Copies of this chain bind each other. A is one copy, B any other.
């Protein structure tokens, strides 16, 4: 928690913030070892970042006197990430990694090699997803929540939504064995598609290439999804 991320509800009135959830209170005590008088970095969801003085801290509540929260959050990556739904534990970690790296649009997609049971996982509850996004923002000192969309059908996604998403974006399909090496240092708006463990099936690859995506690869090593996504984002941008 390199930033204490305040929900609008946490701000009691102008200049005073109240934190009451056990996770953040424990973190303040055990990791920050915070004491009244300490000045910590705070930000408001969707808003600015600044400092606040810890006024009180007990088992139920921490209160802060906010100074101007007038610094902008760090810049976002110009990418919409389309990720084949990973297995639940990998999903949680991948959401944190990509949020930390600055991704603001995430689509979780069904593909042939995504196990159908993954769609029943409690990790997909809106609250759970929100939790992992918040952890990513707190880590990166960011305030802007990514938007997460679920697409439970591959064909409707490719046929009905993909053409619009590729409007004004460069589509990159990351898949082992594609002809082109992953490009470096892009500045342009990009749609990045990453398959599941085991990859997209050939028919899916064909559909995505036919829709206008370029196939790219990261070399001959087979990476876990969470490693691949971080490596792709770090190399592309």
Kindly list chain B residues whose C-beta atoms are within 8 Å of the C-beta of A107.
none
Q: With A141-B220, A141-B222, A231-B231 given, can you name 4 additional A-B contacts, CB distance below 8 Å?
A: A139-B223, A141-B221, A184-B185, A230-B234
**A102 pairs with B221, CB closer than 8 A:** yes
Kindly list chain B residues whose C-beta atoms are within 8 Å of the C-beta of A232.
234
Interface residues of A in 65-113 (CB under 8 A from B): 74, 96-97, 100-102
**B140 pairs with A221, CB closer than 8 A:** yes
Contact of A224 among B139, B221, B231, B235 (CB under 8 A): B139
Residues on A lying within 8 angstroms of B by beta carbon are 2, 74, 96-97, 100-102, 139-142, 184-185, 218-224, 227, 230-235
Copy number of this protein in the oligomer? 2
Kindly list chain B residues whose C-beta atoms are within 8 Å of the C-beta of A227.
97, 100-101, 230
- CA of A47 to CA of B139, assembled, Å: 41
| Minimum CB–CB distance for A96 against chain B, Å | 8
- CA of A74 to CA of B97, assembled, Å: 26
- CA of A141 to CA of B220, assembled, Å: 9
Name A230's closest neighbour in chain B (CB-CB): B230
Name A141's closest neighbour in chain B (CB-CB): B222
Between A100, A218, A221, A230, the greatest number of chain B beta carbons within 10 A of the residue's beta carbon is seen for A221
- CA of A234 to CA of B231, assembled, Å: 5
13 A-B contacts, Cβ less than 8 Å apart? A2-B222, A74-B220, A97-B227, A101-B223, A102-B221, A140-B222, A141-B220, A142-B221, A218-B234, A230-B231, A230-B234, A231-B231, A232-B234
Contact of A235 among B2, B219, B234 (CB under 8 A): B234
